[in-house]
Structure 1
């Protein structure tokens, strides 16, 4: 039975992390990714006789597995990798990590054990069915490891990896799509580990031809392995400094490409060291000697064909810095080369925390371009540890808005070139000059403060709510005077009034109905999951349809609805799909026993425990949580167990309250206390002594009642425990009796459909709570006028005078 992908990768990372010893992540990744590479090509050679990678005798991962416990394991692994490298012309690519390095891996038995365990971790992976499409075991494992290595490497060493979310944005806005041919070319002059290039290639259904250049030798090797791992054996990735030694040239000119993407190092100061030939890149001006941002942008522009397109990540400074950079910017704008600019949130990248932007270049019809399309996406992200990350909804919104050139207030607009060229802007492209993304200021109304009433313009700003809940405004408010209204109910009653209103209930039912219709449309596709399903295509199909269905829904933002599905997909549903694809519905639904995996350091919280103590058996239900089985088949038994648990809690509280009442100092239970506590055994012992000593009859009576309460508690707990044990056993047995249609009903309807519907419904409810908060704020803000406060103050003064007079004081 397959493990869930998320469990597999997290356990893989934890295992590797524990074994790395004295190395930092920047060094350790070379060992891990080399083993991942050897394992993949070995598995692929077994299942694909046409594979371009030759796995020679004595050069496979299986040969590594045979070395477990070998005293010379480090040296022999080096030789295995050497044979594989030599057979495929991959010298200085896959053989950079020294598996016999005693300083990094330890000496003698320490190295032997460490490498044996490391090989064992990868031995459990099976890539024979991997399609390397970015949603399979290999692609996700590689992505997971690279992200963690980048996070662990710190700011100075994390630049080999562009976050996958940002890469997807570049890939989708650069212009690649269904019409892209396999002979179309894409180029990344600072390709790092190649992750950005692969995300771009993933957007071309028929593939395309990949070119890249990388300065760092180890990172270049990483990119070579990455390309092969993802099925691009015919890639062309070269070594060298792109600015001083561009490798893709045609005589004295640069080679040109259809598309280009890049995440170059920000603001590099030594870009011109060793520069001899500029290849005509600086025809619009030479960048400053101590800032290379425009150097890379101009290099990419020169590397594009006459209709070429590019997307480049650069720091925000390129949009507004002056002097030489201002002149270059002006020339690029005058010629129409800059199609658009997308402002990103700060702290997305591993190499820096500063905010960046994406500059989209397009040479096609550049002379006819009349404006620059700008997007301010700086506010859309989530926190992920010490970094920020784009959410699925952020990616989708950026791409939708940019590709469709949709103008949204405070988010995006087409800025005409004559506005940019206006002397007050002088070709400055700083996004806040053209898009004010800040929330409108909440201006206080002095007239309302003086005379009361809520300003109608404040209520008008909530028009989205009144559109969704048609008669609610008339229910909640009554006229005060022209331009002002009063709450028709108390401020504290607003929330319940909204939740109880017919229009709100109708709205929620309508939202639920939309989700129900959406799921019904795709249920047949979901229940037909099989090994040939492409999860990436599946989620794209159903998520885009959900987004489209909510586009016209008042109040709800369709991207928020979309995020509810995508969050559930990444957290639960993707794992479920993976299990069903690999094991089938019936096998995937079976409980797993013995859920501790010492090789991968995997220890899971059990979903069901049968028995107790050492004889207890722990089960994990990956696909169908026990609560779903219980809810559908054992609702009465669960209600009975819940009732018994509640009775046990009541019995326990009765004991606690009785002790609290009588165990006070000088109390009737004080003599039975031991270290501030009294158990049934202590109470029984004290009762015997009290009877023997002829103690106070009241004490004896209290002790007898306490023992009686303890006995009742014991019986209640025993009944609840037995009922729960019987229910758990029946639940476990039911798993073995489930038919495939029943399993599909539990997963499709009770799990997936219900979870998404609840998520979307919670989105509507959370927006309603925001309305409640705003109305309460407005109601409280203007509730007290100066006249009312003055009258209240006079009343308080009068009462105070009365009290003083009654006490004999006179004013």
Structure 2
């Protein structure tokens, strides 16, 4: 049976043949961009067909593109674009539908300026639905159509783009059972590009198995009766972590995310939309989380309040530099805790997420191991969090899980309204499968972490529930080895057995030496020097044997 992973491998193999001297992380923008454009176009075809928009609706969806080109022309075009943009949030004119573009590629009638014109047309039509403008504006900006690495001439670049269109069009987005696997293919491709981007991968992708742990930890106590649950990732990357949370929540969630890197922000918008997240259920922003506190909400009286979320998850950049000037001491996110060091923004990210967490919500965040024990400003923040009873659990993860770093990481689980006064420590650092380029969490590793978190009790050499007093005695140092003793004592040595083994070994050595002497005595040579040397060796061995 055809799977998303197999299709992804097929695309990846073809893409590698086509990209020439272009870096994989750069070529990604063209492959994923055109895949997204095809998705939007085919989604539009489905909308036109399902809603029987035309007087003479075709019997099969394959005829909808031709009917759209015939009906939406002249003075009627604006009406069609208005209607579709109102429902889908975007509109594509008939001459720029995916099927039309592919036909032009196949018939060699496409002109070099077609690609520029189709993206400009897409952007111009976004004004038709102001509610969706932010979700789609600039989403294709990273596809640099004038990139010299596509070709040195306009014609060469156009040829390279048509090859990508041909590649994307060849792919069947359904498995053998007719199930749509486009979203899975897209996420597999993001992961594949991450594998080949080295340290750059950390900017946009959290490995799926790590995302699963974060999502499960953050939803263990989630109230599944909440009709419109909200989830926030303030360093959302490609959005994969946000999407993983949905698998743990029954009702459709409202997605909120912020991302500093514009290219990655565009990836996140595409990724969510291709996973059938409608534009009115996603609010993503391209900005600096630590410099611009977001999101905020305005009440009926027009007073601005921070918006809080049922679930907060994040894998922010580790030990990032940031502006911790004194003016931020008045920032409500930090004022009760203090400011993180200028060269290590880890706790600044944590406090931002905690600030936007609902009173009954849960937050799960990945941070470098050093946040548990580093002193000075970080020590004061850690102490404040503990005194406010907001740290629920600390899980030490295996090293080498991430593309961008091999350092050990920890997951901190935080709550604002904890019933218990203790902290659960889990040492999961040894639970993984060693991979070629990175380590991977197995199902049993994830299950053990989640079950231990749920049961919240001591497990020998794996978990410990520490009281506040115990943590206080350790000067609020949360280094896991202080609480979870993973030392495995060596079994006692049986000295009598060692002596017996030594005796047997000596007997065996003597026996072998006698056999060797016997064989050496059978050797002869006409050379007197060789015979003298041989006799000397025999004499030495015989003396050792007598000893």
- How high is the TM-score relative to the length of structure 1? 0.53
Contact 2:187–2:271, Cα closer than 8 Å, also in 1: no
Contact 2:234–2:257, Cα closer than 8 Å, also in 1: yes
Q: 1:232 aligns with which of 277, 280, 283?
A: 277
Q: 1:87 aligns with which of 119, 125, 146?
A: 125
Matched, 1:52 2:52: no
Offset of residue 13 of structure 1? 0.8
* Mean CA deviation greater in 797-806 or 15-24: 797-806
Whole-Å separation in 2 of the counterparts to 1:110 and 1:71 = 15
The aligned counterpart of 1:40 is 39
Q: 1:68 aligns with which of 86, 90, 105?
A: 105
The aligned counterpart of 1:165 is 209
The aligned counterpart of 1:269 is 321
Contact 1:186–1:197, Cα closer than 8 Å, also in 2: yes
Offset of residue 321 of structure 1? 0.5
Offset of residue 265 of structure 1? 0.6
The aligned counterpart of 1:322 is 375
Whole-Å separation in 2 of the counterparts to 1:272 and 1:22 = 41
The alpha-carbon distance between structure 1 residues 52 and 275, as it changes in their structure 2 partners (threshold 3 A), is farther
Whole-Å separation in 1 of the counterparts to 2:148 and 2:21 = 11
Map 1:655-674 → 2, pairs under 5 A: none
TM-superposition CA deviations, 1:648-691 (whole Å, max 9, x none) = xxxxxxxxxxxxxxxxxxxxxxxxxxxxxxxxxxxxxxxxxxxx
Q: 2:432 aligns with which of 378, 381, 401?
A: 381
The aligned counterpart of 1:191 is 236
Whole-Å separation in 2 of the counterparts to 1:791 and 1:192 = 68
- Structure with more helix by fraction: 1
The alpha-carbon distance between structure 1 residues 204 and 4, as it changes in their structure 2 partners (threshold 3 A), is closer
Structure of greater Rg:
1
The alpha-carbon distance between structure 1 residues 797 and 42, as it changes in their structure 2 partners (threshold 3 A), is closer
The aligned counterpart of 1:222 is 267
Contact 1:63–1:80, Cα closer than 8 Å, also in 2: no
TM-superposition CA deviations, 1:505-533 (whole Å, max 9, x none) = xxxxxxxxxxxxxxxxxxxxxxxxxxxxx
The aligned counterpart of 1:755 is none
Contact 1:216–1:239, Cα closer than 8 Å, also in 2: yes
Matched, 1:411 2:462: yes
The alpha-carbon distance between structure 1 residues 5 and 222, as it changes in their structure 2 partners (threshold 3 A), is closer
* Mean CA deviation greater in 435-444 or 301-310: 435-444
The alpha-carbon distance between structure 1 residues 795 and 289, as it changes in their structure 2 partners (threshold 3 A), is closer
Offset of residue 28 of structure 1? 1.6
Offset of residue 190 of structure 1? 1.0
Q: Secondary structure at the match of 2:219?
A: coil
TM-superposition CA deviations, 1:679-721 (whole Å, max 9, x none) = xxxxxxxxxxxxxxxxxxxxxxxxxxxxxxxxxxxxxxxxxxx
Structure 2: which 5+ runs fail to align?
Answer: 52-86, 127-132, 298-302, 523-534
Q: Secondary structure at the match of 1:174?
A: helix
Whole-Å separation in 1 of the counterparts to 2:340 and 2:513 = 75
Map 1:412-561 → 2, pairs under 5 A: 412-422=463-473, 425-450=474-499, 452=500
The alpha-carbon distance between structure 1 residues 793 and 272, as it changes in their structure 2 partners (threshold 3 A), is closer
Q: Secondary structure at the match of 2:88?
A: coil
Q: 2:156 aligns with which of 100, 110, 135?
A: 110
The aligned counterpart of 2:143 is 97
Q: Secondary structure at the match of 2:237?
A: coil
Whole-Å separation in 2 of the counterparts to 1:304 and 1:130 = 43
Whole-Å separation in 1 of the counterparts to 2:296 and 2:250 = 28
* Mean CA deviation greater in 173-182 or 32-41: 173-182
Contact 1:21–1:105, Cα closer than 8 Å, also in 2: no
Matched, 1:311 2:356: no
Contact 2:183–2:271, Cα closer than 8 Å, also in 1: no
Whole-Å separation in 2 of the counterparts to 1:147 and 1:414 = 36
Map 1:542-691 → 2, pairs under 5 A: none
TM-superposition CA deviations, 1:57-115 (whole Å, max 9, x none) = 23322132123164765531232233334434322123431334344344355334322
Offset of residue 215 of structure 1? 1.2
Matched, 1:8 2:20: no
Q: 2:387 aligns with which of 321, 324, 334?
A: 334
TM-superposition CA deviations, 1:31-82 (whole Å, max 9, x none) = 1111111111222233344762544223322132123164765531232233
The aligned counterpart of 1:529 is none
Offset of residue 790 of structure 1? 6.4
TM-superposition CA deviations, 1:339-384 (whole Å, max 9, x none) = 10111111222222211111000122x2x42321122111122233
The alpha-carbon distance between structure 1 residues 803 and 309, as it changes in their structure 2 partners (threshold 3 A), is closer
Matched, 1:348 2:401: yes
Give RMSD over aligned pairs. 3.4
The aligned counterpart of 2:528 is none
Q: 1:204 aligns with which of 238, 249, 252?
A: 249
TM-superposition CA deviations, 1:745-778 (whole Å, max 9, x none) = xxxxxxxxxxxxxxxxxxxxxxxxxxxxxxxxxx
Offset of residue 328 of structure 1? 1.2
The aligned counterpart of 1:179 is 224
The aligned counterpart of 1:246 is 293
Whole-Å separation in 2 of the counterparts to 1:382 and 1:799 = 48
Offset of residue 130 of structure 1? 13
The alpha-carbon distance between structure 1 residues 62 and 333, as it changes in their structure 2 partners (threshold 3 A), is same
The alpha-carbon distance between structure 1 residues 394 and 82, as it changes in their structure 2 partners (threshold 3 A), is farther
Offset of residue 311 of structure 1? 0.2
Contact 2:112–2:154, Cα closer than 8 Å, also in 1: no
Q: Secondary structure at the match of 1:10?
A: helix
Offset of residue 803 of structure 1? 11
Structure 1: which 5+ runs fail to align?
Answer: 453-783
Contact 1:43–1:126, Cα closer than 8 Å, also in 2: no
Offset of residue 794 of structure 1? 8.0
Whole-Å separation in 2 of the counterparts to 1:274 and 1:215 = 23
Whole-Å separation in 2 of the counterparts to 1:438 and 1:146 = 39
Whole-Å separation in 2 of the counterparts to 1:348 and 1:247 = 30
The aligned counterpart of 1:394 is 445
Whole-Å separation in 1 of the counterparts to 2:518 and 2:140 = 94
Q: 1:119 aligns with which of 165, 178, 188?
A: 165
Q: Secondary structure at the match of 2:203?
A: coil
The aligned counterpart of 1:257 is 309
The aligned counterpart of 1:290 is 343
The alpha-carbon distance between structure 1 residues 114 and 797, as it changes in their structure 2 partners (threshold 3 A), is closer
Whole-Å separation in 2 of the counterparts to 1:797 and 1:151 = 57
Offset of residue 430 of structure 1? 1.0
The alpha-carbon distance between structure 1 residues 41 and 252, as it changes in their structure 2 partners (threshold 3 A), is closer
The alpha-carbon distance between structure 1 residues 74 and 53, as it changes in their structure 2 partners (threshold 3 A), is farther
Contact 1:286–1:324, Cα closer than 8 Å, also in 2: yes
Contact 1:300–1:310, Cα closer than 8 Å, also in 2: yes
TM-superposition CA deviations, 1:293-335 (whole Å, max 9, x none) = 1101111111112222100010000011111111111121122
* Mean CA deviation greater in 105-114 or 253-262: 105-114
Q: Secondary structure at the match of 2:105?
A: coil
Offset of residue 426 of structure 1? 1.5
Contact 2:11–2:171, Cα closer than 8 Å, also in 1: no
